[in-house]
Amino acid sequence: MTRWLTEAVPRGRVAAFRTLVYLFVAADLVVFTPWVRTRVDVPGDLYQPLLVGRLLPLPTPTPALVGVIFWVLLALSLLAATGRAPRLLGWAVFALYFEWMIVAMSYGKVDHDRFGLLVALAALPTAGRARHGDPTRTEAGGWALRVTQIAVICTYFLAAWAKFRFGGLDWATGSVLARAIIRRGTDLADLVAQVPHLLIVAQFGILAFELLSPLVFVLPERWRLAAVGFFYSFHLVTIATITISFAPHLVAMTSFLPLERVRPVSLLRRRRSPAALGQLGDHPLAAAGDDLGAAPLGQP
């Protein structure tokens, strides 16, 4: 079990995942959850902190406190995305984002799509240093990715358990998707809803998908990536029909992917070569100049 939990992965994969996660935190503050800053305008007695917020205990949020968290977290997450000081910046980002989420979810609605992201933020500081493109394998980084993967799958499996706990089999045979389409459906959803019994079949399919999701861990790597592709397609359909994005969950799910193969910095460096060099086509001197960082044509 320990060997599986700490299965070594390339450091480049950890570096890419770290950059993606911290950039999403910054984007989350300004794109997905900027409304958190407005929550503190309501009376303080409406703040009903989650259990963890009561155990710590954390103060009732004020405009000043939330404003400080916003700006400090935004700056630190962008710094952490560079890979510098992974432990110091990583723990700081996790603590501040954790408090940001407690404020966000303590006014009556709790979103379960952030569980995997929070686990990733808690695990990444333990992965140590990692550089983009580094093929060296690391068990610490493997553990950080593995526990994130487990959190991602738990999000699915426990969602099915919650459906049975609160709705029983009636969840699958009821009008859950029909109500969702009425509330926030798209034109595509309206077309789907016109097909007899399709929504009921879809509800049974969702339950089966969520209950069987842990099987992704026993699949061969090739089929595992195909299964993760299916997970993403499921969320694509969800966005296209009932406009629920699950963006934090989708970011955490990249922990399954060979992200070390994606190297945007190297791609940008190759494209920064002068246009004159590009006009030389496949000339060997042009290729050598690109690799060695040669000066523009006409200069020594």
The DSSP-derived string for 59-80 is PPP-HHHHHHHHHHHHHHHHHH
Taking residues 147-171, what's their average pLDDT? 94
Could you give the CA distance from residue 105 to residue 110 in angstroms, rounded to a whole number? 5
SS3 (DSSP) at 137: strand
By the 8 A CB rule, do 209 and 156 touch?
yes
pLDDT tens-digit map of 214-273: 999 999 989 999 999 999 999 999 999 999 989 999 999 999 999 998 776 666 667 776
pTM (predicted TM-score): 0.86
Could you give the CA distance from residue 77 to residue 84 in angstroms, rounded to a whole number? 11
pLDDT tens-digit map of 194-212: 999 999 999 999 999 999 9
SS3 (DSSP) at 279: helix
Q: Three-class SS string for 232-267?
A: HHHHHHHHHHHCCCCHHHHHHHHHHCCHHHCCHHHH
Taking residues 10-23, what's their average pLDDT? 97
Taking residues 86-103, what's their average pLDDT? 96
Could you give the CA distance from residue 21 to residue 251 in angstroms, rounded to a whole number? 7
**Percentage, residues of the chain above pLDDT 70:** 88
pLDDT band at 278 (very low <50, low <70, confident <90, very high): low
pLDDT tens-digit map of 68-78: 999 999 999 99
**How far from the centroid of its chain's Cα atoms is residue 97's Cα?**
14
Q: Is the pLDDT of residue 128 over 70?
A: yes
pLDDT band at 40 (very low <50, low <70, confident <90, very high): confident
Residue 276's pLDDT is: 43
Could you give the CA distance from residue 127 to residue 140 in angstroms, rounded to a whole number? 5
pLDDT band at 290 (very low <50, low <70, confident <90, very high): very low
pLDDT band at 49 (very low <50, low <70, confident <90, very high): confident
Does residue 57 have a cis bond before it (omega within 30 degrees)? yes
Could you give the CA distance from residue 159 to residue 47 in angstroms, rounded to a whole number? 25
Residue 38's pLDDT is: 85
pLDDT band at 281 (very low <50, low <70, confident <90, very high): low
Q: Is the pLDDT of residue 275 over 70?
A: no
